[in-house]
Chains A and B, each alone.
Chain A
Amino acid sequence: NAGVMQNPRHLVRRRGQEARLRCSPMKGHSHVYWYRQLPEEGLKFMVYLQKENIIDESGMPKERFSAEFPKEGPSILRIQQVVRGDSAAYFCASLLQGFGDTQYFGPGTRLTVL
């Protein structure tokens, strides 16, 4: 996990608020995956990004969720108008070369929606 940073580690939001989750990949990595993990379940793929490009967002809910990975700065997963069902752990993983490469995971952000 060394090198992949996620913040905040814990985030509490009330229903209807926005949640912004940040992921700073390992140095030199230009690919990022986002996953969601519900309690007692495995990780579910959400989106795969390369800098300034969304490669695959087939795992993202169609509404309220968006992700970006700008040329400069961290990757952002944004959840608008959060609902209780959004409460989960959100993990990002960074890769050096993209598809097929080893994924290095961050420590996760635990989102709680009150």
Chain B
Amino acid sequence: DAKTTQPNSMESNEEEPVHLPCNHSTISGTDYIHWYRQLPSQGPEYVIHGLTSNVNNRMASLAIAEDRKSSTLILHRATLRDAAVYYCILMTGNQFYFGTGTSLTVIP
């Protein structure tokens, strides 16, 4: 019952933009969409979050579909340090629902 669906893996060339998709068709009106990433043997790290509008910060951009049933995390220029598992998460009530995430490989 992860509530989000992501591709298992993606590849990107270094210095190129990366678009990481996420489907969350059962989202409710008050659910926030969060993205975290996890490097090997580390705890997850916050990337970005939003509710309805697109969001930008120094790490990434978050594009949210008008019906909110999907979103896309955009890394504008992938670096080797961006290689990680990216989790798209819905915050429902008190809980974060992590799926299995997308493992991003960055090719030099």
Contacts and interface: CB of A to CB of B under 8 A. Distances in A.
Interface of A: 1, 4, 33, 35, 40-45, 48, 55-56, 58-59, 91, 93, 99-100, 102-108
A42 B42 contact: no
Interface residues of B, number: 21
Given A42-B100, A102-B49, A108 B95 contact: no
Interface of B: 2, 32, 36, 41-46, 49, 87, 91, 93-101
A89 to B, nearest CB: 9
Contact of B97 (A45, A56, A91, A100): A45
B32 A102 contact: no
B94 A104 contact: no
Given A1-B42, A103-B44, 6 more contacts: A35-B98, A43-B96, A45-B98, A59-B95, A103-B36, A105-B43
